[in-house]
Structure 1
């Protein structure tokens, strides 16, 4: 049940009637007509911009349109008043029964309340994390993993067919460095002093890999030339790192549907096929790039390369796909990888990148637009940095990793649920501070606690209802006489519940799961406000002594809050708390 969509449908129906009556000209489009909560709750329950957006195409004054629309709205039994404000905004107040029915809908539909068909079953590939398989995941990967996973859940909730994908960057020079680093730990396992030269990975996490290599190879690889062991150890170490990364993700509650290996693109003709596709479109040529603006890199030289005409699709400059020596650039396998996504039949692609990949956005979008002939949109979400604090001071730890804080460090400190929720308390492209003390603080200033506390309070109400012998299964509560819910504080909670279906559609349309976290905090705030008012006004308490019917109505409201919090936390990948200690 989407009450905002229902009222918007009413507005559109009345606008069509106005066209038929000659009060509006024919040929108008109503796509931009919206019904939303007013900026100030004192102005009403809902507001529509209909008169404002139709005035110019209709060649009429907004106020004239608004006055006629308001008169028609006032005739509908669901609308108790429709008032024109300012130049033509139209504020509406709704009959209390509509808000009470929201409570009933949430109880009847459970966590499916708010689900929509926005995605219409379209296939979407969400690629996220994709950390190099050279060590454990660090805190920066943590934020990307949480965001990507919550986004995938959000898109599923609004009706998309979602595939969660991890791109294993196992085709570049970094895995050769991993192999050399693992070889030194293999030497160490065989009693020799490891030589961790500059540029190798120093973390202790490779010690078990060295020991496993000893168990497999004994001392047979000692003093052998690199050419004899590099490929075998590269594969062995990469597999070990991916096993570690899968464990890191599992600790955070992230499970991928698919892992795609970059290495599988080499020597299989897939890179060549993707570039041939671009070449048939006239987008591959041999040329010389202009020198970069500003100071020239020391290694820059004017040379002919194989270039992709990415400027045809909005990029700033054309991009090399093959070097002058015939080797592929880093961009070439990325083009091929995204071509596989297009060929696999995805209707929409989403990539979640670290903030340091900002320069990659335009070229990647250009490649997908060209490969799909503009049929498959690509949205790239950049994840800004996370700054760690403890006791108000910058925080560093993790000898095991060498030089960075790992995902496991964070989860072991505060738990997966707290980590996930807090990582979504800022928009993805905004920096985020993560204070180990504040995220565990039991106060209103800590959104994780505040939302969980609201759910726990509902659970305490249900336990007290058990003690009082008041039936409170969802079916019974949905059938209760909800007219007892009439106080403004109760209505505020019901109105916030009504916003949930609209909110998730907006979040899903814009690929913004942080909106869910923000909404849950607002819902919790309204619920806590109602709870606190009950301390002074006994009529607002959820259990009314000696009045089971009124108690059930009030418990129904509380239970509906828990239903929506559970649904929202489910999208964020967080388990709702039944009690807090």
Structure 2
């Protein structure tokens, strides 16, 4: 177009996109070039769009072009184009859609990081699944991912844990302790921890002062709780590459180092903060403190790092931890936090920006609330169901874990709906193997099948949706939103179930028909492609695709 004089050369084309429109009646692809370039080119959008449409008419693979709205160019592609894309999917096989998008870029994904004071609940599970699926997705798309758990073992809560275990230890040694004192953790899960301590140390800590037993029992209790956490995560199929201890971080002097680095950049000063509006900040004191200039990096207020008594605030240790990540070479940081940490995001992003000189970025995913102990739910419905359901909403949207819903066999149960589509595909392929020789069912052979008989609107809709998989993967990876894959899989399953139903009503659309071998081969190729994509999507979620429904 620029060569013909309509548009000047050197225009910024970075915002030009060609993508499937939201409404199917608008065609197979919509281009926004005219709208994006109009201001730069000093031309009317409709004028640019009309010229572009004229140039695209008659091109290979394009069936029709139309100008819509203020200047969108809508394209309708030929059936031959879609058949060729289906053949490419089959030629690629498993791994279709995966790219080297990340090019080996190091990404740190921190998730769960629950206080080591008790069993995980379903709220922790949601963060665990979101973090794990996101790590799977980024790794699949060429990023070098480290999966990390930050063990908050340096705060007052682990001292409370140690005192709670000491009470259970005394009980295990034969003392009558009565009701657990207020302020301690009353859960029965600490009974075996107290018993294990008594078995190891006998009556050693019964007469010792707290100053003597607190450090040792704190270590023992924290280790026991982390063993419990690891077991819960294992039941959910979640793994981490690294567990980083807050207590070790403090002991190594990393908080002092981070403070000194900020102080050396003139980002710390002495001052008094106004009390927070509405909700009291746990680090606020109505007196002079050491403050970090968080407002210089987009936060709403400056933040205290050292209290008036000289102790560190929680924020100070979190700054040190994120500086530790940056020093380990990570410039892409992703944290998955619980619902009660929403007010913490701005200050942490400000700190990462300050520590890295804006060379590192922090993306925080807040996972919505959900209750009940994790292991109870996993034991009741299975880990695959838990993992998939956790990804059927945006991570920050409320999620009600309805046991009746996740066990019913209906469209309203997204786990069943997607798994049923995979099982149906497997069933069709097994029946196909009864009339089509096994070598002809290999993906390479199916990729060479004549697909021209796949001309029913339901078949073409399914092919179009399958071909969106690479775009779905890339979009989910770039936005750090694995729930997009769950939405896509549900839509894909719906398109397949519709085709299956039409085949029951119309014999000409049956997937397997011994009297129509050409059509059977083409439809088995289509079903094989569907099976590949569903299995790949479920694998990213850590979910095992089923071969048949029971």
How far did 1:351 drift? Answer: 0.7
1:124 aligns with 2:102: no
Distance 1:85 1:304, change over 3 A: same
Pairing of 1:83-482 with structure 2 (within 5 A): 83-195=66-178, 196-293=180-277, 301-386=285-370, 405-471=372-438, 472-482=441-451
Secondary structure of 1:432's aligned partner: coil
1:488 aligns with 2:457: yes
Cα shift readout 1:205-241 (whole Å, capped 9, x = no counterpart): 1111111111101122223221221111111111111
Match of 1:580 in 2: 549
After alignment, is 73-82 or 295-304 more displaced?
A: 295-304
- Please, what TM-score do these two structures have when normalized by structure 2? 0.97
CA contact (8 A) 1:461 1:555 kept: yes
In the aligned structure 1, how far is the partner of 2:545 from the partner of 2:403? 20
Q: How many residues align?
A: 547
After alignment, is 214-223 or 443-452 more displaced?
A: 214-223
User: Structure 1: any 5+ residue segments left out of the alignment?
Assistant: 1-17, 388-404
In the aligned structure 1, how far is the partner of 2:459 from the partner of 2:284? 67
Cα shift readout 1:326-346 (whole Å, capped 9, x = no counterpart): 111111110000001111111
How far did 1:301 drift? Answer: 4.9
Cα shift readout 1:519-575 (whole Å, capped 9, x = no counterpart): 000000000000000011112111121333321110010110110001111111111
User: Structure 2: any 5+ residue segments left out of the alignment?
Assistant: none
- Runs (4 or more) in structure 1 with deviation over 4 Å come to 294-301
1:59 aligns with 2:42: yes
Secondary structure of 1:496's aligned partner: helix
Pairing of 1:481-560 with structure 2 (within 5 A): 481-560=450-529
- Please, what TM-score do these two structures have when normalized by structure 1? 0.92
Distance 1:297 1:488, change over 3 A: closer
Secondary structure of 1:431's aligned partner: coil
CA contact (8 A) 1:424 1:514 kept: yes
After superposition, the CA RMSD in angstroms is 1.6
Cα shift readout 1:186-221 (whole Å, capped 9, x = no counterpart): 112112223511111111111111111111011222
How far did 1:375 drift? Answer: 0.5
After alignment, is 317-326 or 26-35 more displaced?
A: 26-35
How far did 1:110 drift? Answer: 2.3
How far did 1:452 drift? Answer: 0.3
Cα shift readout 1:274-315 (whole Å, capped 9, x = no counterpart): 111111211011122123335878996531111111111001
How far did 1:53 drift? Answer: 1.5
CA contact (8 A) 2:273 2:284 kept: no
CA contact (8 A) 2:110 2:336 kept: yes
